């Protein structure tokens, strides 16, 4: 049971905009920034969004993040087939004094 809650699956068609959520509590998302990771099959996770809404160099601006209260969202616009992957949210938890992750959302491009 992951500390952060994510829907297990999401889907969309090419070109569509999809969003996925990440729900936490006051000790993690409510008081710290949220990071998002993309994991393609058989590979290590890759940083997609940091500090709620910042994109590392090389990440397309089709990916965007936001945070409100104890929840965060990842949006992907102009969906492409190569976006099919697992997406994880993460944040520092002040109560646990460590990083907590969501269970991941599997994105399917139909």
Q: Which stretch binds another protein (CB under 8 A): 12-20, 33-41, 58-66, 70-78?
A: 33-41
User: How many residues are there in the chain?
Assistant: 110
Contact call for residue 40 and another protein (CB under 8 A): no
Contact call for residue 10 and another protein (CB under 8 A): no
Q: How far is the CB of 35 from another protein (least distance, A)?
A: 4
Answer yes or no: are the C-beta atoms of 75 and 19 closer than 8 Å. Answer: yes
Q: How far apart are CA 94 and CA 84, in angstroms?
A: 32
Site residues for another protein, 60-99, by CB under 8 A, read 88, 90, 96-99
Contact call for residue 29 and another protein (CB under 8 A): no
Interface pick for another protein out of 9, 51, 80, 108 (rule CB under 8 A): 51
Q: How far is the CB of 101 from another protein (least distance, A)?
A: 4
Locate 46 and state its tokens.
């890759």
Q: Find, among 81, 76, 98, the residue nearest to 3 by Cα.
A: 98
- State the Cα torsion 108-60-21-53 to the nearest 10°: 170
């Amino acid at each position: 049971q992951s500390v952060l809650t994510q829907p297990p699956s999401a889907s969309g068609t090419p070109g569509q905009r999809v969003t996925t959520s990440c729900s936490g509590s006051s000790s993690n998302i409510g008081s710290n920034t949220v990071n998002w990771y993309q994991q393609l099959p058989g590979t290590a996770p890759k940083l997609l969004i940091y500090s709620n809404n910042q994109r590392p160099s090389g990440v397309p601006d089709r990916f965007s993040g936001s945070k409100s209260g104890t929840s965060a969202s990842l949006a992907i616009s102009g969906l492409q087939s190569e976006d099919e992957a697992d997406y994880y949210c993460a944040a520092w938890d002040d109560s646990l004094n460590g990083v907590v992750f969501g269970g991941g959302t599997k994105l399917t491009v139909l």
